[in-house]
Amino acid sequence: AACAMSADSDRADRWLFRMKALEVLPDNSVYHALMEVAAEAARPGQAELWLKRSWQEGFEPDLISFRWMLRAIRKAGDTAQIESWVERLMNAGLKPDISCVNEVIGLFSEQAKMDKVAEWLGVAEQSLKLTFEAETYNLAIAAYTNAGDIEAAEAMMEKMTNEGVSPTAKTFALMVGDGKSPRGNDVVERYAQRLIDENFELDGEIYTSVIGAWAAAGNAQAAEEWYSRMVEQQLDTPEALALLVDALVLSGGAEGEALAEEWITQAKESDMELTPAVYAARASADVFRGDFEQVEARMQQMEVDGLAIDEDCLTVLLLSYARATPQQPLLAEQMFKQQILRGKMLATKEVLEALRAAVGGSRCLALRRELQISAAQRADIMDRMSSDNLGSISDKYKKSGRRVWKKFRPPEMAEESLKWE
């Protein structure tokens, strides 16, 4: 179980070796556990190896094994393989249960393949005659909300209640969003209120999502109210704090900045370890004003406090150079090359958009070629970090609190995008 929680596939292999060395024969539950570890580590090849090994040991194919196989494929994001494994499951004389189908729907939902989500909802309901559970509906709702189709998401939630399945806290949180995809203020307000009215026991992830949604909607007061609730429940995190600080400092005026400083001070006094995202958020007002020297000073203070510049901070620095009067393209280029060449930072799309705002499209493309930065190489770096348990860069970036960086782009490029992505 410990191996599964940490997705430590190599450690699991060693335990099986020791069992055999001690002449303890593994039963099928051991192979299930090994497949679970491989699944959580997003290693479908390893999961398949254990599946075949269990068959070689004389164990019959069972639904649990195939379920972990599907889970591994989903975690790896391999849409090309998952349907063929459902076929193999059925060829083994087994019928997929709703948990198996959820893995399929979940993968297509995460990959924004809306036609496949709809297809598999139909397969589950009409062909397999399966009863949807709350997670099934939530996966579909996640797909629709991520695609910006709130109307379809609400229709799915109505179907959910009509079928006698009670919406969960996650259901309403999906409707609220997290600030990464657009929502109308009325949608955020309606479903955030439902989270309160239903008296759910909310976890830190849901609180963070709601705060992110209100921050993206530009409602600093609501974001602060939800963060206050989070603090009362002792669930506050640096990620949520960064979202709040962003909202407050961008709400305008010295009052918002003063409130942000108060929350940061309180977090420090409660022994919260601040992250670069919090420092980046605190610099938001300086970026908006184009005060790149103040942004640099904040980043220097962060390094004095023992934290290294990350993708959030680099984005903020580059945007401050872009918004400066006059613009500072040479400083932006120098900062970008310095940080990327250190090898500890990923040239994310957000970083490149900020670089483009500061140095112009042609120079940005030239720098990408000079430093041999491509989308494929970025994906390969993230994959290697994940497989080597060195995911600090990608994990930090995924957990970043900053979701409103586009507000800082100079107005003349507001509708433009990277043509070479």
> What one-character DSSP code corresponds to residue 278?
H
In a domain, 360, yes or no: yes
pLDDT above 90 (res 384): no
Segment 321-326 mean pLDDT = 96
In a domain, 345, yes or no: yes
In a domain, 22, yes or no: no
Burial of 372 (0-12, 13-18, 19+ CB in 10 A): exposed
Segment 78-95 mean pLDDT = 96
Segment 295-322 mean pLDDT = 95
Q: Are 257 and 248 in contact (CB under 8 A)?
A: yes
In a domain, 337, yes or no: yes
Sorting pLDDT into bands at 50, 70 and 90, what band is 387? very low
pLDDT above 90 (res 390): no
- Residue % of the chain over a pLDDT of 90: 72
Output the pLDDT for position 386.
44
If one counts the domains in the chain, the total is 1
Q: What is the pLDDT of residues 203-243, one digit of tens each?
A: 999 999 999 999 999 999 999 999 999 999 999 999 999 99
DSSP H stretches of helix in 217-308: 220-232, 238-249, 253-269, 276-282, 284-289, 292-304
In a domain, 348, yes or no: yes
Segment 30-57 mean pLDDT = 91
In a domain, 339, yes or no: yes
Q: Are 53 and 16 in contact (CB under 8 A)?
A: no
Sorting pLDDT into bands at 50, 70 and 90, what band is 10? low
In a domain, 264, yes or no: no
Sorting pLDDT into bands at 50, 70 and 90, what band is 396? very low
Output the pLDDT for position 5.
40
| Helix, strand, coil % over all residues of the chain, rounded to 5 | 70, 0, 30
Q: What is the pLDDT of residues 14-27, one digit of tens each?
A: 655 565 555 556 67
Four-residue CA torsion sign, 312, 318, 320, 322: negative
- Residue % of the chain over a pLDDT of 70: 82
Output the pLDDT for position 343.
82
Q: Are 120 and 86 in contact (CB under 8 A)?
A: no
Containing domain of residue 394, as a range? 317-421
Q: What is the pLDDT of residues 176-192, one digit of tens each?
A: 999 988 788 999 999 99
Segment 128-154 mean pLDDT = 96
Segment 312-333 mean pLDDT = 96
In a domain, 83, yes or no: no
Between 267 and 27, residue with greater pLDDT: 267
